[in-house]
Structure 1
Amino acid sequence: MDQSFLMMLSNLLHLHNYLDPTTSPILSSTTLSSSAADATSTSAAPLLFFTLASVLSYLASHPPTKKTPKPSSASPSSSSAAVKPPSEFSVAAFRALSTEHIWAMEAPLRDAQWRSLYGLSYPVFTTVVEKLKPYITQSQLSLPSDYAVAMVLSRLSHGLTLKTLASRYSLEPYLISKITNMVTRLLATKLYPEFIKIPVSRRRLVETTQGFQELTSLPNMCGAIDTTPVKLHKISPNTLNSSMYTSKYGFPSVLLQVVADHKKIFWDVCVKAPGGFDDATHFRDSLLYNRLISGDIIWDKAVTVRGQPVRPYIVGDWCFPMLSFLLTPFSYNRTGTPAQNAFDEGLMKGRKSVEEAIGLLKGRWKILQDMNVGLNHAPQTIVACCVLHNLCQIAREPEPEIWKEPEENGQPPRVMENEKSCCYYGESLRQVLADDLYQRLSSR
């Protein structure tokens, strides 16, 4: 029953008790004088008539209507709030879509919609949520785990600012920042060992080297290395050595180094230096370099080329040092011998996999095109995007438009004292591979 109607009846009852004390449970009828009883009895009939008239008047002026209020020009804010549908990004809307409506859709349409919102298909999204949910639950976050992950993915895939995301999801910016930092940290630490691995098992080595040989005609190549500056939206002038973050292209950045296989899947990621560092310096400061130069990583799969054993190696451009485990081109403009030029062409075909992997990374996770996160959280955000990139590549997600990197130029780095023997062996190995490749191509 309508609350206002109940309130009116209650008021009438109090008025009746006030005017007719004989109905009050507090007073005994034996204490009333006969004159008072006569006076109150004469007032009962008018009061009853008044009560019935009020009830009939109320019913006549309040016919049954739908509960949805009509918009009123007098109070636009309240009326619009009453008829406004729930936000597309509210918890309720997300719940309705992900738990009921999503399974009623055709899979291609469902996954296309999910990619447009969060950068990956619904099955891949649920995989991420299932792997992160135990850690998010431990944090006692006030939001559902899948909703928090979806919110962070929308920021990473569209490059949204805290202010935009806070307005869209009706949350405070500080809470958006807290959730973003938590989810990216979990991706960069808990999921990294599972999805970014150096190929040390023989099965993976065979698969990777055979894949590269089909692309390049060069034997035992197991990876391609490259670096890319990840642009920072801004950097505080109070940052220590802030000028070191200015890349060779003129914008503030941090340097990302990756090694990719023939499927454009990263098997090593390093974010350790400001954008002003050169590729060789960044590489020499990485854990991968130290493990390779010290012999901590030794790939057992060796093949014999012209009587020389060739262990698995990675390839890079002329900005990296020539080493026994890292081969670079003879020249950057194909000015070598026919055999050397054939090797350089094959090497660059291998490097194309890592170049395209970086282009897909920045094309899929647009926050890397202009990072609007704090400098302290930039490395973990970049690594988190690399983990998500691998998830998408493993699941064979449709590849987005590739982000075009600026043309790279530079001079070959000088050889360090501790690298001279590795450099000499690498040069010898490179020439053997070049001669063998040229002979095979010439005999076709």
Structure 2
Amino acid sequence: MDESFLLMLTNLLHLQNHLDPTSSLLTPTPTPTSPTSLLTSTSAAPLLFFTIASVLSYLTTTSLQNSSPASSSQPHQNPEPNSPDSDHKHQFSISAFRAFSTEHIWAMEAPLRDAQWRSLYGLSYPVFTTVVDKLKPFIAQSNLSLPTDYAVAMVLSRLSLGLSAKTLAKRYSLEPYLISKITNMVTRLLATKLSPEFIRIPIVRRRLHETTQAFEELTSLPNICGAMDTTAVKVRSKNVGDVFVSKHGFPSVLLQVVSDHKKILWDVCVKAPGGFDDATHLRDSLLYNRLVSGDILWDKVINVRGHNLRPYIVGDWCYPLLSFLMTPFSWNRTGSPAQNAFDEALMKGRKHAEEAIGLLKGRWRILQDLNVDINHAPQTIVACCVLHNLCQIAKEPEPDLWKEPEEIGESPGILENEKSYYYFGESVRQALADDLYQRLSSR
């Protein structure tokens, strides 16, 4: 029971004793630490009246204080999350979060403020508010009993720290099923509502030219518009079947990304269990089908030794060589001098996709060991990709790269419907290699 409430009752009893002196001979003076003494008065009727009145007054006052916007602005009512007099259990309460985010956050120096916010939620406070503002209209429709920013912060802490629903439930004093429910809702909204805005193919002329020019400066190869890579995202779900076991020996699902020169992902695909190979996953992706069908037609065309070459993606030897996807001649540099020079240049570009995945898993550590239901794995992965792009666009500090296991292998076979794309890609790749080698030799 609240001490201020007991003190109020004490004062009322003093008044009762003054009105009825005989009761003081039989009733010990109550103290805030002995609430049971309040029940021993022999003058029950007047005391009962005062008690009921005081309870109603107290409840009304408390309700008004809690509903008043001004009440949340009082620093002394809500201790800071890291203050010595607030225990670990209350660091993540709504009142503590509200006090920290609305009252104290803007009083801090920006570097300190954002560093502290990143340690808790994986991104700076301005980027966090961007996420909240974009999700708020959708979360409001769900009738969630928690404030939008608090729910988003809770999910971001799980994604950035890799916490399980059970661990997060203890931290926020909520039931694990509620943590899972909120996580599923927020990640689904990120993956469906925000991904069209923040994961986009560079079709706009200005962005396309910027990307191809930047890759050319990095690799000396013209018209590269993206770098592709695939990673196995380890899942913790049980009884998922052998088809989910990756080549590295752990259960997983595959994530395919295409990155630009800033390590911003402009296409992601999560469609296959970890046991599938990269080429099969590529062929099942929407991007592949759009490129094959000509649905994506970049208007920037250059001529390389008599070949008209549209913007293309670079990938490693795990992918098929196609007109829109250039791969190395060999994985161990056993080709001609021109071919080896091309392979070295191509891998400089492909490295950006590899580093983008390293940043993605380094920043959103839940992807290092995904502890969500297998049915929610794809949306959780895509949600992290959206957040990754937000961080890259905002130029957030880059964390240490997550190191992927080394891969070696042979190029996959070519399907019957891919032969025309393969033959053209083969001719263009050799033309690019010869042109590059000639330019390098003439320097």
Please tell me the TM-score bracket, short chain as reference.
Answer: 0.7 to 0.9
Show the 5 A alignment for 1:98-177. Answer: 98-177=101-180
Q: Separation in 2 of the partners of 1:243 and 1:262? A: 36
The aligned residue for residue 282 of structure 2 is 283
Residues 331-340 or 297-306, more deviating: 297-306
SS in 1 for 2:231: strand
Give TM-score scaled by structure 2 length.
0.84
Q: Separation in 2 of the partners of 1:4 and 1:255? A: 67
1:192 maps to amino acid: S
Residues 310 and 51 (structure 1 numbering): CA distance in 2 closer, same or farther, change over 3 Å?
closer
2:405 maps to amino acid: P
Contact in 2 for aligned 1:221/1:313 (Cα 8 Å): yes
Q: Separation in 2 of the partners of 1:331 and 1:183? A: 43
Residues 358 and 7 (structure 1 numbering): CA distance in 2 closer, same or farther, change over 3 Å?
same
Choose 1 or 2 for highest CA Rg. Answer: 1
Say if 2:206 is the partner of 1:200: no
Q: Separation in 1 of the partners of 2:120 and 2:262? A: 25
1:6 maps to amino acid: L
Equivalenced residue count is 386
What's the CA shift string for 1:268-326, capped at 9, x where partnerless? 00000000000000000110000001111111101112232211000111110010000
Give TM-score scaled by structure 1 length.
0.84
Residues 319 and 84 (structure 1 numbering): CA distance in 2 closer, same or farther, change over 3 Å?
closer
The aligned residue for residue 211 of structure 1 is 214
The aligned residue for residue 381 of structure 1 is 380
Structure 1 unpaired stretches of 5+: 17-47, 71-82
Contact in 2 for aligned 1:12/1:51 (Cα 8 Å): no
Displacement of 1:51: 5.8
The aligned residue for residue 392 of structure 1 is 391
The aligned residue for residue 431 of structure 2 is 432
Contact in 1 for aligned 2:17/2:23 (Cα 8 Å): no
The aligned residue for residue 268 of structure 2 is 269
SS in 1 for 2:271: strand
Say if 2:194 is the partner of 1:191: yes
Contact in 1 for aligned 2:191/2:380 (Cα 8 Å): yes
Q: Separation in 1 of the partners of 2:431 and 2:101? A: 57
SS in 2 for 1:272: coil
Contact in 2 for aligned 1:313/1:325 (Cα 8 Å): yes
SS in 1 for 2:270: strand
Q: Superposition RMSD on alpha carbons, in Å?
A: 2.0
Contact in 1 for aligned 2:162/2:369 (Cα 8 Å): yes
Displacement of 1:52: 7.3
Contact in 1 for aligned 2:254/2:272 (Cα 8 Å): yes
Pairing partner for 2:183 from 170, 180, 186: 180
Structure 2 unpaired stretches of 5+: 1-6, 35-84
SS in 1 for 2:403: coil
SS in 1 for 2:225: strand
Say if 2:9 is the partner of 1:3: yes
Contact in 2 for aligned 1:212/1:218 (Cα 8 Å): yes
Q: Separation in 1 of the partners of 2:247 and 2:408? A: 10
Displacement of 1:87: 1.2
Q: Separation in 1 of the partners of 2:395 and 2:378? A: 26
Identical counterparts, % of pairs: 74
What's the CA shift string for 1:356-391, capped at 9, x where partnerless? 000000000000000100000000000000000000
Show the 5 A alignment for 1:7-26. Answer: 7=13, 10=16
Q: Separation in 2 of the partners of 1:51 and 1:368? A: 69
